[in-house]
Amino acid sequence: MVDFNITTVLMPEVVIASMSMILLAIGLLVPYGSRKSMMPLTAFTLIGVLSYTLYDFFYGPKATFLDGMYMHDQFAVYFKLLFLAAALLVVLSSGDYVQKLAEHRYKFYSLLLSATLGMMLMAGAGELITMYVGLELMTISFYILVAYLANDARSSEAGIKYLVLGGASSAILLYGISLIYGLTGSTELFVIASKLGGNLTPASFLATVFLLAGLGFKISLVPFHLWAPDIYEGAPTPVTAFLAIASKAAAFAVLIRVYLLTMNSQAFSITGETLLIVLAVSTMILGNLIAIPQTNIKRLLAYSSIAQAGYLMVGIIAGSLAGIKGVLFYAMIYVFANMGAFAVATHVAERQDSDQIKDFAGLWRRSPVAAVVMTASLLSLAGIPPLAGFAGKFYLFTAVMDQGFIAIAIIGFVMSMVSVYYYLSVVKVMFLAEGEGLPDIPVHGAMKFTMVFTMLITLVIGLYPTPLAQMAFAAAESLFK
């Protein structure tokens, strides 16, 4: 057993949790006018934690502790990196947006951090109740964040919808967990795996389906996806970004662990694969098809992110080391690609008070940086080289084809080319339309940094994916040990 100190291992979680509290306290104590430093404070905290986590990923001790309840392997750390990066980018891009909110804005960052904390717990959870607690921490924070524009009926409506559906899906997830507990007597993944592995009973299958449905809800897998577009549309744009990127990734982290340990058993394999293939294919197709007629950028990105979930599922279907590596790789670049797009959407939403695609008209002229970043991000999502999305898809589909599934790869690639259609429609509006009468909206400061940074990362990873691929490989490998 590697000798380690539990506090050093849990340092990121602890810091994030305390910072969340501190921000709340500051919000309560410091007078309204001088709360501008909250964004930098959060950002620097996140940068610090991120750096530490990065160090931890490569050099820190790895262990499973609390009898397998909590895992500190490279897989978990990889996802923590992802959440922290996403949170950081959201924070950086949300500065002006949040500034315009009313006096509640200090809670925004606090809630953001608590959601991040929830995700980090999910990534490390080796046990279903821990996972559930993390999940709920994240979800409840999101309920509030989604409805954060208290005076905006749409935002409140989104919050309510998310609450109802999220609650119901949690209940179903929990019911599944309870069945599993009933069948195995444990909520720890390793124990479950050893006890459940043998044969497939209707009860165990019901439990699995419930579990899958609960997690599928979070990753907006068709047919559990219906909430996503509405919530994404109603939520404040930075929240949408965080929701689309991080919460989905967190659910994937859990799904991978659960799937690999429990569902990937011999008895389950054919049935489970069939099920997952059907779901993944319909997710890819439906997400991309419905995205085509969208006129609202957030809704468009919502459907696009549904489709992206379908691509990610492909890696899980492969179930191999390469497949998981593909998922990890793709999840990370997905952060940057989506973040770029959402940053631009946030910027436009903040300046023009509109989420309509037609209001992006002439963005090329009015804000060249934003237009270029948006284009690069969308094309990365579509998987056009030399952007990172291509490398990601390549890893994913190579893995699944290696397992012999050719048709799913064809469907995936064809659908991703179909997706180019609606991504390019946005590009067309930005570059072709003149945008008469719309204001010039140059980007500055942290927002500009976010945009350019995400674009550069997208480009650099696309051109030279090796470092990230190695990290993803290490993380995936730690899962298979």
**Subset of 135-174 contacting other proteins (CB under 8 A):** 136, 140, 143-144, 147, 150-154, 156-161, 163-165, 167-172, 174
Q: Least separation, in Å, of the C-beta of 303 and other proteins? A: 9
**At closest approach, how far in Å is the CB of 114 from other proteins?**
11
CB of residue 44 to other proteins, shortest distance in Å? 29
From 44-52, 228-236, 254-262, 342-350, give the range in contact with other proteins by CB under 8 A.
228-236
Q: How many binding residues for other proteins (CB under 8 A)?
A: 113
Q: Under the criterion CB under 8 A, does residue 477 sit at the interface with other proteins? A: no
The number of beta carbons lying within 10 Å of the beta carbon of residue 278 is 11
> What CA–CA distances, in Å, run from 378 to 99, 244, 334, 340, 414?
27, 14, 10, 8, 16
Binding-site member from 40, 223, 442, 445 for other proteins (CB under 8 A) = 223
Question: In 3D, which of 133, 118, 305, 335 has the Cα closest to residue 225?
Answer: 305
Rule CB under 8 A: is residue 229 a binding residue for other proteins? yes
CB < 8 Å & 24+ apart, contacts of 5-12: 6/65, 8/60, 8/61, 9/60, 9/61, 9/63, 9/65, 9/72, 11/49, 11/52, 12/49, 12/52, 12/53, 12/56, 12/80, 12/84, 12/120
Closest approach of other proteins to the CB of residue 295, in Å:
9
Residues 231-250 that bind other proteins (CB under 8 A): 231, 233-234
- In degrees and rounded to multiples of 5, residue 65 shows phi and psi of -135, 180
**CA–CA gap between residue 352 and residue 370 (Å, rounded):** 14
CB atoms within 10 A of CB 412: 26
- Which range touches other proteins (CB under 8 A), out of 27-35, 115-123, 247-255, 288-296? 288-296
Q: What is the footprint of other proteins within residues 70-89 (CB under 8 A)? A: none
The smaller minimum CB distance to other proteins, of residues 261 and 291, is found at: 291
List the structure tokens of 320.
């191999």
Q: How far is the CB of 40 from other proteins (least distance, A)?
A: 28
Q: Which stretch binds other proteins (CB under 8 A): 78-86, 102-110, 115-123, 180-188?
A: 180-188
Q: Does 202 bind other proteins (CB under 8 A)?
A: yes
- Smallest gap from Cβ 171 to other proteins, in A, equals 4
If the CB atoms of residues 49 and 376 are measured against other proteins, the closer one turns out to be 376
User: Binders of other proteins among 369-398, rule CB under 8 A?
Assistant: 375, 379, 384-386, 390-391, 394-395, 397-398
Helix (H, G, I), strand (E, B) or coil at 63: strand
Identify which of 378, 391, 395 has the alpha carbon closest to the alpha carbon of residue 327.
Answer: 395
The answer to whether the CB of 243 falls within 8 A of the CB of 146 is yes
Contacting residues for 108 by C-beta, under 8 A, at least 6 apart: 94, 98, 101, 145, 148
Cβ-based burial of 420 (10 A; exposed 0-12, middle 13-18, buried ≥19): middle
Residues 100-139 that bind other proteins (CB under 8 A): 129, 132-133, 136
Among 292, 358, 440, 442, binds other proteins (CB under 8 A): 292
Question: Footprint of other proteins on residues 402-461 (CB under 8 A)?
Answer: 402-411, 413-414, 416-418, 420-421, 424, 427-428, 431-432
| Residue with Cβ nearer other proteins (43 or 222) | 222
Q: What is the DSSP string of 134-182?
A: HHHHHHHHHHHHHT--TT-HHHHHHHHHHHHHHHHHHHHHHHHHHHHHH
Residue from 50, 125, 263, 277 binding other proteins (CB under 8 A)? 277
Among 25, 36, 203, 358, binds other proteins (CB under 8 A): 203
CB of 334 to other proteins, least distance (A): 19
The stretch among 43-51, 75-83, 175-183, 444-452 that binds other proteins (CB under 8 A) is: 175-183
How far is Cα 311 from Cα 330, in angstroms, rounded to an integer?
9
Strand (E) or helix (H) holding 64: strand 63-65
